[in-house]
Amino acid sequence: MIGNGDEPFITAVKPLVDSMGGEMLPPDEAGPEDVVLAWQGVDVVAVRLPQLADSLDHILAAMERKQGRPLADLDRKSKQEVVRILEARGAFAVRHGVETVASALGVSRFTVYNYLNREKGA
């Protein structure tokens, strides 16, 4: 059971877990890849992190929500900023990351590479 007086801690970490696309579960259900969080010396909650590719999809969806419209509808400068943010977050280290981002932005892989190279040349 998650809770039992630990709700402030769980409430505090939930936005972080949600932003990563993670899942919160009772510590006794944690697997070897899960991260168990303790509060005041007691295991309170386990966090199951998503696979990196799923995390990228989650990040893109969150960016769309923040923009209030599909990323493909952004202007070129805004798309370049999205690529810069995603690069800083390691999005292009994920297998098929460039293709996934290109699809979300409604541009070609070549365009994403151009945005990346532009940033490095600046």
Q: Percentage of residues in the chain with pLDDT exceeding 90?
A: 60
What's the pTM? 0.63
- If one compares 78 and 122, the residue with the highest pLDDT of the two is 78
22 within 8 A of 47, measured Cβ to Cβ: yes
Tokens of 12: 């505090």
Each residue's pLDDT tens digit, 11-70: 999 998 887 778 999 999 999 999 999 988 999 999 998 776 677 888 898 899 999 999
> Which of 75, 85, 73, 94 is closest to 116 using CA atoms?
85
How confident is the model at residue 109, as a pLDDT?
A: 96
